[in-house]
Each structure stands twice: as C-alpha cells, then as structure tokens.
Amino acid sequence: MQESLPEILMRVVTELHDVAYLIERIEPQLLDIAGPKAMENPDTLKVLQGIDLAVQKSRGLAEFIDTITADVSNEWTVDMTTALSLVKLSEMKRALGDGLRHGHSQPLTKVAGDFDFF
C-alpha cells in the first residue's frame, strides 16, 4: 500500500486539529462540573493549564507538519500497512488510510449516553 507521503502527512495534520478541538471542548465542561469555586483550587488550575497546553501542542504539531509537508515531493511514497495496523480507532484508521472521511474521527453529534462497544 504505497501512498504519497505529503498526502499522508496532511491526513495526520487533520487528525491533530481534531485532537485539539476535542481537548478544547473538555475545559468548559470541567468548569461546569466543578462549579464556580473551581478556579480557586490550584490543582484545578494546573489541570486547566494542562488542557490548554495539550491544545497548543496539538495545533503546533499540526502546523509544523503542514509547513514541512510543503517541501516534501509528491513522488515520495511510503507503505502504510504496518503503521495503519497499529491504529486502534477504526474511524481514525479509515481517515489516515484512505483520506475519505467526513467530519471528525470522534463523532461530535452523538447524544449524551451514546457509546460504541469495542
């Protein structure tokens, strides 16, 4: 399964942006759960700072990969078979494998209480 390296890298960029978005959605939920006094707790502040750092790192990695991909020749190809076999999330595997994905690898429209067995 030989594929163009720049195409694969751009799929990774998309997944990293999704990760940042999903992490970013956690912060307001934690504040709602913890209540108004949450910001007075130093441990809570550290967790919120960690969430913010995770978002920044995910986006930073995405931008880094996006930028260096511009200099990678489309003729460079790699075999993704082994790498894809290590990806456990089926939607992510599909998104990285064929690039044909609609929306996020983590469905955002599910109703609270919905879950998938795996």
The whole-number mean pLDDT for each consecutive block of 10 residues of the chain, a chain of 118 residues, reads 92 95 90 83 89 96 97 95 92 83 51 52
Residue 106 included in any domain: no
Q: Which residues contact 49 (CB under 8 A, 6 or more apart)?
A: none
CA atoms within 13 A on the CB side of 107: 9
> Which residues form the domain of 24?
2-98
Report DSSP state, residue 110.
P
How far is 11 from 17, CA to CA, in rounded Å?
10
Residue 9 included in any domain: yes
Residue 28 included in any domain: yes
pLDDT of residue 103: 53
CA distance readout (Å), 32 to 37, 39, 71: 10, 11, 44
Residue 56 included in any domain: yes
Residue 71 included in any domain: yes
pLDDT of residue 109: 54
Residue 61 included in any domain: yes
Q: Domain count of the chain?
A: 1
pLDDT of residue 38: 81
pLDDT of residue 69: 97
Residue 104 included in any domain: no
